[in-house]
Amino acid sequence: MRVLALLALAVSLAACDSAAPSGGAEPLAGGATTVFDASGNGFSTPAPNLSAGDLALHLVGDAEFEATFVTAPAPVNGGLGPVFNNTSCIACHARDGRSRESLLLRVSQRGRDLNGGPLAADGFGLQVQDRAILGHQPEGTVQVAWTERREVLSDGTVVSLREPAYTIGRPLHALPSEVSPRFSRPVFGLGLLEAVRESDLYALARAQEAGGEVSGRPNVVWDPIEGRMRVGRFGWKANQPSLISQTVTAYSEDMGVSSPWALSASGEAEIDRETVEAVTFYTQTLGVPARRGVLDPMVVRGERLFASVGCASCHAPELRTGSQTGVAAVSNQTIRPYTDLLLHDMGPALADGRPDFGASGSEWRTPPLWGLGLTRVVNGAEELMHDGRARGVVEAVMWHGGEAEAARERFRALSREERDALLAFLRSL
């Protein structure tokens, strides 16, 4: 009954999307997957170009994405833990966006595993599970202390930057040598990013190298599903090559739920292949919110400043998807995600000192900016960057260093009117 109700809702929303403004007044940020919903549901609407069969599968995945896992044995959704970070996908991705409850610590010890990835920390594995089922103990607690420092813009505006220091409280094991916080990302539009050709990402990297100021590069990572090295494109360090790999890892690491690709210690799978594939398809086929106010003169001016300051060098405005097997809706689309999906050295202030495959301790993947203007509407706050340290866009920009230092200083030098225009543009995304 739940799936049927969701299906009826999606059909209704799709009908509304078909009445979107015509004549090119609204740029289609997600190509044909674009949705015209600027409400709190702006990240949660199915792509309007799904076939009836694909929409039905999307809604099955939606129900599984929201399913809460419990302690085994249970007739439905058993297998939680014994240690875990959260009980469902939606708990970390509230309204398919971000959630403060998603904060976790990735850990490792110095060295590399057999595939060149982070080496699991003794006892902890690759992240600290801070919750546990009855009869077990959490591996530790995540503790954070904040310090504030000031940055001054050219017009005298003072920006306060808060810097976090993370520690593991009440650890069950010897403290790992490499610790890095992670905050969840929104899950809409991911199928489009997955469908961008690897050759296009390498082309972006070559163009940047020729340009001189920034020099991004793909992270080449191990694909546990296909058993080979591939270009990574998901995660804060682009350490996941595909959405099915991301989904399998989230079930295993975040919830302690095994699958056919990540069996439990006893060799059992607590969810089946169909569940994993449905959730993967759900994240592949969420629609992308349309830009708003694109004809506003201030927004138009802000877009020009976004390019002239240098932000567009890494936050590439436009990409093209290829043909994605099994996901027709995201294939062959022109999209505007404002990312190059490449790694960039962001300097010592943002460095976590934890390498991840080819990513150094100071390199991070460029996050997409689409939907940025709806973040506060959907999730109630703008906690940006990999650990949520930035309380708004200006703070996020002022944390940029390394390859982005020159762009940051050009942003600092803007007049108040110019800065307001650039921010108006970002709010239109």
Is 302 a member of any domain?
A: yes
> Mean pLDDT over residues 297-307, rounded?
97
CB neighbour list of residue 157: distance below 8 Å, 6 or more residues apart: 416
Tell me the two tokens of residue 207.
């163009």
> Mean pLDDT over residues 39-59, rounded?
98
Is 321 a member of any domain?
A: yes
Looking at residue 18, what is its pLDDT? 36
Is 8 a member of any domain?
A: no
Looking at residue 7, what is its pLDDT? 47
Contact present, 51 and 194 (Cβ < 8 Å): no
Is 16 a member of any domain?
A: no
Q: Is 202 helix (H, G, I), strand (E, B) or coil?
A: helix
Q: Which stretches does DSSP call E strand in 295-380?
A: 319-320, 334-335, 343-345, 363-365
Which residue segment(s) compose the domain that 230 sits in? 31-428
| pLDDT per position as a tens digit, 261-285 | 999 888 999 999 999 999 999 999 9
Looking at residue 26, what is its pLDDT? 53
Residue 298: exposure state from Cβ atoms within 10 A (0-12, 13-18, ≥19): middle
Looking at residue 167, what is its pLDDT? 95
Is 115 a member of any domain?
A: yes
Number of domains in the chain: 1
> Mean pLDDT over residues 323-328, rounded?
96
Is 26 a member of any domain?
A: no
Mean pLDDT of the chain: 93
Looking at residue 110, what is its pLDDT? 96
Tell me the two tokens of residue 93.
């991705």
Is 123 a member of any domain?
A: yes
Q: pLDDT over 70 for what percent of the chain?
A: 94
Distance CA 92, CA 105 (A): 14
Q: Which residues is 234 bridged to in the sheet?
A: 240
Other beta carbons within 10 Å of 281? 22
Select from 288, 277, 394, 282 the least CA-distant residue to 339: 288
> Mean pLDDT over residues 289-316, rounded?
97
**Is pLDDT of 21 > 90?**
no
| pLDDT per position as a tens digit, 110-123 | 999 999 999 999 99
Is 293 a member of any domain?
A: yes
Looking at residue 19, what is its pLDDT? 38
Select from 29, 19, 37 the least CA-distant residue to 95: 37
